Structure 1
């Protein structure tokens, strides 16, 4: 049977223009398919589009990330080229990481408020070298911190860390298999939008800036809503660094918060006016809010096989952390990885993926680990710890952080 459909009228250009200029529901629906950087540009068209864009941005409360790796062949360097077309900063680096990140950042669907940026130490050391050469030729007085900050929205807090090795989940899907990179170039940028019920505060302490008032300002003490602290010490082998870290950990050890992290090599996004380059210190993120949940387990030195690693990671299941809007973190000793598992690569990252197939995993191989077995949920199942039991060597701290 033939059926002829007759349309009483067609949508003309003027009608479409009327809808796009006056019907907020249609405009808002269309803008949900537009990446954030393009969305910010379209918000300049008119008041209606600006208001629709703002509403769309408020709904984008899921974490996003970009990650990239390099072949080490000198073709381009990832973390240091401009991440946006508008930023006319030409960093002649020599590796691949930043170029890949630049392309992928164009397609994110959130407005980042806080960025956790990690890259391998060789990448960052090469960056510093190139900066010194480039800076001699620059006349505008800019520095790496300012240039890197310019790549993200104004007011976005950026915490950049260089480590001996990187653990990352490839961009695109939470279910992608995470990878351990103990050699070669690798890096990632975790981007956190403004989220209802979640307060995220980056902090930075050195021997000049550390005080009780600074701890309170960072939300690390006197904060009943504190749930998770990601904490990283740098220049840890300098004289006095261990005592300094103990001072920072002491008020946190007995708190009802999850503490996880480790020792990294350098921090490359914080100005050092207070203490100078080469001085030791601590940086991190304090996460507060009733919607946040977390859990961590310690893979001790006796965990040295794929089977024992899976048994250890299975302990995280007891926390019953929701999978949605949850991140996994892996902070491992440089002495672990494939050398620790008899040449078998990616053991711990693959084990995490087997237990939590829909949770992305990020982290590093560092010079010491911070954390313990701890669960922070609505019921607060905790164990008493002190600063000594939070610090380890030749271990891995596996952590889940749920942001509601």
Structure 2
């Protein structure tokens, strides 16, 4: 049951359909389990094939009903010798070894003396549970576990957990916060996307203008995060030079651009009716090309319901990595699909594959969102956007797309060259501009080494492309891409 608490009851309930501050105060999995267990006991009554075992307390724990039968007499008090043996036989039910009348079982019951070849038999209320009792207990436990999981699957609101505080020397703070908050999330995650800053994740931090080492192992940190989620949950994790984080509690909290320091977030996507979220990965191999069958298997081709693709190139500093990313982007560039993302430092987690790539590998990884109810829009903030006024003008273009703001989240993929230095030491300019026009939509993202996206709106069959007759250029530098993703009505 403790494992169930880890795999079925998860973080502070930060739901995307909240219109204002506050947290969702749904039923915790432990409380839910207690109520379900009580209901099951009422329905099942005492275990099959036996009556109330009448333990010493005089109250049956299986059927929660009082027992009127008195417990058997103490056999040691009946005395030794032949007379004592006869008396003990009578207490056990006679020479034939019959069960005492106040506790009966099915026909397969045998006295302990017959089963073990011993003369004496322990009183019924001191015996160990039979195999039938244990089987019933485990069957009820499995039934309780499945009832909890079914209830959690009905929760279809996306939740997130974030951190902006330094963690212990040996572990990233994201692991610590996830371990604490996952027990409070009232949804069963099917897909998880987490991002963290690269310096503190791999074991470095700023110290008076220079880097100093910390005792951290990125592989161990990634495995610690993965172990917190159910085995069937697909976990995708990347690390970047900086992250954009919305604090936990409500989508109306002010998003923060964390360019230096320890920070990270994890977005938990449950199974949502009408929405399919899948991870994909293309490993760069000069000897092989990307076969169309792999694109179809990942749901990126011949999929009329494909709406949004978040795409990340990792280890892009390696020879040929940028060209490979351009090749994949060109394949996926369609008028009816929203593409957004950028180049990250490293891929740390991809549980959908049994053999994750090594640090020396490079490739493309991401998430695809399919479903007729999904709506999305994105804008590109180029180098002409260099102050608060022009940043807000770009957000007005995004607002004009009329994307519903409930059950919606935003992503910001910015160049590492932007931020407070680009805006003349003014911090949080672009995140604050987003919040001004979308006050209840949480914002996430990263500062990377290149951006993917353009001005594009995808709402059902209506598509607006502001690039006119010129083919969309999706790979950029010194820019920021803002994207909204609406997953449809909540249930």
TM-score, normalised to structure 1, is 0.79
| Gaps in structure 1 of 5+ consecutive residues | 1-31, 78-91, 136-142
State the partner residue of 2:201. 124
Query: Cα distance, 1:145 vs. partner?
Result: 5.2
Q: 1:391 aligns with which of 465, 471, 475?
A: 475
Q: 1:64 aligns with which of 144, 156, 159?
A: 159
CA distance in 2, matches of 1:276, 1:202: 18
Does the alignment pair 1:106 with 2:183?
A: yes
Query: Cα distance, 1:178 vs. partner?
Result: 0.4
CA distance in 2, matches of 1:388, 1:238: 26
Contact 1:298–1:395 (Cα < 8 Å) also in 2: yes
Within a 5 Å distance, the mapping from 1:237-316 to structure 2 comes to: 237-270=317-350, 273=355, 276-316=358-398
Query: Cα distance, 1:401 vs. partner?
Result: 0.2
Query: Cα distance, 1:116 vs. partner?
Result: 0.4
Query: Cα distance, 1:103 vs. partner?
Result: 1.5
Contact 1:206–1:274 (Cα < 8 Å) also in 2: no
Does the alignment pair 1:156 with 2:156?
A: no
| Gaps in structure 2 of 5+ consecutive residues | 1-24, 41-139, 205-212
Cα RMSD after superposing both structures? 2.7
Q: CA offsets, 1:321-370, max 9 Å, x none?
A: 11111001000000111011110000000110000000000000000000
Query: Cα distance, 1:204 vs. partner?
Result: 1.0
The number of residue pairs the alignment matches comes to 347
Does the alignment pair 1:371 with 2:463?
A: no
Contact 2:175–2:225 (Cα < 8 Å) also in 1: no
Contact 1:36–1:109 (Cα < 8 Å) also in 2: yes
Contact 2:201–2:216 (Cα < 8 Å) also in 1: no
Does the alignment pair 1:317 with 2:393?
A: no
CA distance in 2, matches of 1:334, 1:153: 34
CA distance in 2, matches of 1:377, 1:37: 40
Within a 5 Å distance, the mapping from 1:319-398 to structure 2 comes to: 319-383=401-465, 389-398=473-482
CA distance in 2, matches of 1:37, 1:367: 44
1:41 to 1:400, Cα distance in 2 relative to 1, 3 A: farther
CA distance in 1, matches of 2:471, 2:361: 22
What SS does the aligned partner of 1:319 have?
Answer: coil
Contact 1:246–1:387 (Cα < 8 Å) also in 2: no
What SS does the aligned partner of 2:412 have?
Answer: strand
